[in-house]
Structure 1
């Protein structure tokens, strides 16, 4: 499990290092991003000449559903992914060991409460 976490962190860090220079280079300015924000803050509402504002999508904003449904779908998708991951033999064996340890501690707690 630690190896999998280490690999995931290494991939995330490598990806962020590869993407970050591109984001700064795409800006085209030599100043810091905060300077760019300050310079463009005054004319943020101005639309340049010749620029057409795109029409809104047919159904409005991208998010039109209800929050409870979206949260349910997010939790269901997460649970499904974790369920698939938990079926790999090494992970399944570790989960069974943790469950056995939890059951032992639970029984010890129950025995301590009855005394």
Structure 2
């Protein structure tokens, strides 16, 4: 089985689309649980689905509360404030809207089980 990503409702749709276009299985939180579910329910559902959680929620970057060895993976994405510059999706070379802008790779944290 390939990688599966459980994407929460705050992650821009452009990120879900990039994962989908790269032939990964993308599971949207809103299709499985209520969008206002507490963190413990979100991470439990990601585990149940055997998926890597992708979220903007900074709580998931806390490796004391969420030790990487206990999870398939947690991708916490940090978005920089919009700087007025259009970014280009390198896959499609199409402009990305302000709402769906891409994060800076230096701001991404990916915690994975070994």
Q: Report the TM-score, using the length of structure 1 for normalisation.
A: 0.17
* TM-score normalized with structure 2 length: 0.17
Higher helix share: 1
- State the structure with more CA Rg: 1
Higher strand share goes to which structure? Answer: 2
